[in-house]
Amino acid sequence: MAVAVAVVSGVVAVVCALVLGQPLRDPDGFLGPTYVRLPLIAAMLLAADILPRAVRRAGSPRGIPAQIRDVARERWPWRRLRPVLIGLAAFYVTYVAYRNLKNYLPQLRPDLVDAELAGTDRWITGGVAPAEVLHALLGTGAAAHVLSWVYLAFLVFVPASLGLALVLQGRAGHASWYVTALCLNWALGTASYYVLPSMGPIYAQPALFWDLPETGVSRLQDSLLTSRWIVLGDPDGTDRLNSIAAFASLHTSIILTAALIAQFVVASVAIRAALWAFFALTALATIYFGWHYLLDDVAGLAIAVVAVLLAAWGTGQFRRRRTPVPVPDGSAVPVARERRRRSGRRPEAAPSPS
């Protein structure tokens, strides 16, 4: 399913680029070309898994190279390495398509609906903008700096969580579930941008946020607005991308996706609690800094639930597994296989007269 999402997203991005007569741009091209960066990311993830184990096994520095080869053969045979590379490639293709389609948004959907979304916000909160409510409750000092760190942590969280899911030893199906859900988040989020094109309160009503101190978030908001002006002024003459789109909130949807999947597959209570706290604070930050309207976050919640369920179906998480039976060495095998083993018959053999 992740590959299918990547292919569809890539095709739509290419079609839009051809219609507009603009190139597809690498959103992170300043870090080097994709054909160099993508293998480098994969190599770094594998090294983070292999090197610590090789060092622990080696009795001396001279033994480390041999242990690296042994650990690599044990932990990363081709049957396990292949899905990691496929997952990484599918994620990246979907992400590149997402960033380019977001860049084309002002040209393909120039009419904004910020006034309608802002009116809905004020109707929900009794005539006052939700951001003003949070500023009054939390203040505009220390809370702004704390929420800024939380919001910007998303930029590290996505690649870090992707790498951990793909590299950590465990059930490959769980990693596939998470990677597929991330791809669906990018794809569904892109579609939502085109359904209700908007910029967000910080750009539609900037006066509401003048009392906030300068933070990493405020500098990012200024940078994104500058990029949007440059793209609208000369879309063919710049390598910058428009990255402003409010509906729906993908910060909210992606972190909720991680929290939901962790709730089912992660044993650590502390990790699950940390993800839920991260989700709650991020959702709060999106409103506090004016990135999103309330409906944007609600739509982000819906995208997360749909992505998790679709990815679970697409990666076989809903399939009923056959009941295992214990065997003397403490392992478990499916009932049919164990019965064949005890009877000494091959699967295709006919039952004996006895």
Burial (0-12, 13-18, 19+ Cβ within 10 Å), 192? buried
256: how many CB neighbours lie within 10 A of its CB? 28
Q: Does residue 86 have a pLDDT over 60?
A: yes
Higher pLDDT, residue 203 or 28: 203
Percentage of the residues of the chain whose pLDDT score is greater than 70:
86
- The three-state secondary structure class of 343 is helix
Q: Does residue 261 have a pLDDT over 50?
A: yes
Q: What DSSP string describes 299-310? A: HHHHHHHHHHHH
Q: What DSSP string describes 90-139? A: HHHHHHHHHHHHHHHHHHH-----HHHHHHHHHHHTTTS-HHHHHHHHH-
> Could you tell me the pTM of the whole model?
0.83
pLDDT digits (tens, 9 = 90+) for 309-318: 999 998 888 7
Sign of CA dihedral 17, 23, 26, 30: negative
Q: What DSSP string describes 65-98? A: HHHHHHHHHHH--HHHHHHHHHHHHHHHHHHHHH
pLDDT digits (tens, 9 = 90+) for 278-326: 999 999 999 999 999 999 999 999 999 999 999 999 888 877 554 444 5
Q: Does residue 265 have a pLDDT over 70?
A: yes
Q: Does residue 137 have a pLDDT over 70?
A: yes
CB 286 within 8 A of CB 252: yes
In the 3-class helix/strand/coil scheme, how is 205-249 assigned residue by residue? CHHHHCCCCCCHHHHHHHHHHHHHHHHHHCCCCCCCCCCCCCCCC
